[in-house]
A and B are shown apart, each in its own frame.
Chain A
Amino acid sequence: MTEKEMIRTNNLNKCFGELHVLKDINITVYESDVVCLIGASGSGKSTLLRCLNYLERKNSGSIVLEGKEVDFKKDSVNEVRQKVGMVFQHFNLFPHMTVLENVIEAPIHVKKIPKAQAVKEAKELLGKVGLDDKMDVYPSKLSGGQKQRVAIARALAMKPDIMLFDEPTSALDPELVGEVLSTMKELAEEGMTMIVVTHEMGFAREVADWIVYMDEGRIIEKANPDDFFTNPKEERTKEFLKTTALK
């Protein structure tokens, strides 16, 4: 069986001025894979995700999306972004729009699909994340977990091929983490290709196909969850797992 390659980076480098944040990142993600990206604070996880979504511009190397290298000069970044959904740590819902309006905004104004169809699809998505009863509510009235599930529905409404999550549960009260993780787990089971930055080791172990461990801007180890947690190869990974096991 040959798997379809969804996203690949070749020697990706990113600097903020003098600070070299990503160093020769080579990563390949295949269709329906769930990759959990873990690592200490400041290791460059967010920066990597943001580069994959072009919120940051790489300095060198290349990003290949579904077999096609993305060229800033030729390709419209906005079209590329439609294939890659992103969920943020702080939700970033649009506060001046209701839940439903948040979800239909991009399909209507970016994809130009008819409003009736956008509403219909949005209602289905909101049903899927368990929030169809909150459709006409403004985000300020939602709990953190509900906000994040709306944010997931909003990203899914663009029918992306890949979903990026940057610490989607880090800003949540502990009792709200579960509902978001189970929404993500469902998404993974439906075959969505996902890259998830997370500190939730339980989730990573259960849902991920691959764990990628980053340290100081480099990928140190990539392994399946069982090997990674029980039998890490790299010294630095072992150190990191010791510190997280203590938590």
Chain B
Amino acid sequence: MDLPSFGHVFQTLLDSRNLFFDAMMLTLQLTVVSIIFGIVIGLFFALLKISNIKILGYISDAYVYLIRGTPLIVQIFILYFGISGIFLIPDFWAAALALAFHNGAYIAEIFRGTIQAVDQGQMEAGRSLGMTKSLAMRRIILPQAFRRSLPPLGNQFIIGLKDSSLAAFISMNELFNVATTLGSNNFDEMTYLIIVAIYYLLLVALLTWVVNSIEKKLAVSDR
């Protein structure tokens, strides 16, 4: 198969922009929703893990093991076919939740590491001022841990964005699905794959920019 010419790709990119626009918005929605829920889930399991209660730690370990130990596509299918067999769940939420639980496991590990990396003296200083453990966690430890989490979180966001392409397999019309469909309908797979790669690169650039600006904003105390 010959590579399509630059002019052809460019022309197709322009012509298909309306078709891709909706797909891009869906990919973005899937990514943002799954990241936000993933952060909540990740924080929850990270806190379970660092709690002094053993059984909660085991629960957290089990979750991380299950998620990291199985392919994302299997998780998506289980959620899609499994859950929607029991009660009706919109396709979008099946995909978003599967992605959120998947991201959550990795984000839990990120938070666990950065929380534990905050100097012990910080908690002691908070406690010595009369703070409860949870207040010190919320006001002293988590803000510092969160800042250190940003670079690895940014990385996880990019992975999450690309992983959202697997939602194509439960017929979500996100970027990848639209690209393969258009490609086979027009007998021009390569052109559309190149185009979809460009969209992903744009989204990654956007995400990177967002993460970097948050990081800069939070770094004031280092200046």
Contact residues in A for B119 (Cβ distance below 8 Å): 92
Q: Is A81's beta carbon under 8 Å from chain B?
A: yes
Identify which of residues 140-167 in chain A touch chain B, using a CB-to-CB cut-off of 8 Å: 140-141, 151, 154-155, 158
Given A105-B139, A138-B220, residue A94 in contact with residue B122 (CB < 8 A): yes
Residue of A nearest to B218 (CB): A96
Cα separation A94 to B131 with both chains bound (whole Å):
13
Task: Evaluate contact between A81 and B139: CB separation under 8 angstroms.
Answer: no
- Say yes or no for B69: interface residue by CB 8 A criterion: no
CA distance A90 to B135 in the complex (A): 22
Residues in chain B near residue A81, CB distance under 8 A: 127-130
Of B129, B135, B139, B144, the residue contacting A158 (CB under 8 A) is B129
Given contacts A88-B124, A110-B131, A138-B223, are A95 and B144 in contact (CB under 8 A)? yes
CB contact between B132 and one of A78, A93, A139, A141 (< 8 Å): that residue: A78
Chain A residues within 8 Å of chain B by Cβ, number: 31
Q: Tell me whether B128 and A85 are in contact (CB under 8 A).
A: yes
Is B143 an interface residue, CB under 8 A from the partner? yes
In contact, B144 and A92 (Cβ under 8 angstroms): no
B interface secondary structure, majority: helix
Asked if A94 contacts B140 (CB within 8 A), the reply is yes
| Chain A residues within an 8 Å CB radius of B122 | 92, 94
Output the least CB separation between B96 and chain A (Å): 32
Question: Which residues of B195-223 are within 8 A (CB) of A?
Answer: 220-223
B143 and A96: CB pair below 8 A? yes
Check B125 for interface membership: any CB of A closer than 8 A: yes
User: In the docked arrangement, what's the CA distance between A140 and B221, Å?
Assistant: 7
Using CB atoms, name the residue of chain A closest to B133.
A78
Is B121 positioned at the interface, with any CB of A under 8 Å from its CB? yes
CB distance from A150 to the nearest CB of B (A): 12
Asked whether, in the complex, the Cβ of A78 is within 8 Å of the Cβ of B125, the reply is no
Question: B22 to nearest A CB, angstroms?
Answer: 41
Q: Which residues of A contact B132 (CB under 8 A)?
A: 78
Contacts of A84 in B (CB 8 A): 128
Cβ of B17 within 8 Å of any chain A Cβ, yes or no, is no
Q: Are A96 and B221 CB-contacts (below 8 A) given A105-B139, A109-B135, A109-B139?
A: yes
Q: Select which of B125, B126, B130 is within 8 A of A82 by beta carbon.
A: B130
Distance of A97 Cα from B125 Cα, bound (Å): 14
- Say yes or no for A219: interface residue by CB 8 A criterion: no
Chain A residue contacts of B130, Cβ below 8 A: 78-79, 81-82, 106, 110-111, 158
**Interface membership of A169, Cβ < 8 A:** no
Do residues A95 and B221 form an inter-chain contact, with CB atoms below 8 A?
yes
State whether the Cβ of B147 lies closer than 8 Å to any Cβ in chain A. yes
Closest CB in chain B relative to A65 CB, distance in Å: 13
Q: Size class of B's contact patch? A: 20 to 34
- Residues from chain A with a CB closer than 8 A to the CB of B126 are 94, 106
Q: Does A113 contact B (CB under 8 A)?
A: no
Question: Do the beta carbons of B131 and A140 come within 8 Å of each other?
Answer: no
Interface residues of A in 65-89 (CB under 8 A from B): 78-79, 81-82, 84-86, 88
Q: Which of A85, A88, A138 contacts B121 (CB 8 A)?
A: A88
Contact A110 B129 (CB under 8 A): yes
Supposing A92-B119, A96-B221, A138-B221 touch, asked if A78 and B131 sit within 8 A by C-beta, the answer is: yes
| CA of A8 to CA of B121, assembled, Å | 26
Residues of B within 8 A of A95 (CB): 144, 221
Residues on the B chain within 8 Å of A86, using CB: 125, 128
Residue in chain A with minimal CB distance to B138: A109
B74-105 vs A: 1/0 string, CB under 8 Å?
00000000000000000000000000000000
Residues of the A chain whose Cβ atoms lie less than 8 Å from the Cβ of B221: 95-98, 138-140
User: Bound complex: CA of A141 vs CA of B147, how far in Å?
Assistant: 19
Q: Given A92-B121, A138-B220, A138-B223, are A53 and B128 also a contact pair (CB < 8 Å)?
A: yes
Are B129's CB and A90's CB within 8 A? Answer: no
Binding site for A on B (CB under 8 A): 119, 121-122, 124-132, 135, 139-140, 143-144, 147, 220-223
Q: A84-B128, A106-B129 are in contact. List 15 more A-B contacts (CB 8 A).
A: A78-B130, A78-B131, A78-B132, A82-B129, A85-B129, A88-B121, A88-B124, A96-B143, A96-B144, A105-B139, A109-B131, A110-B135, A138-B223, A155-B129, A158-B129
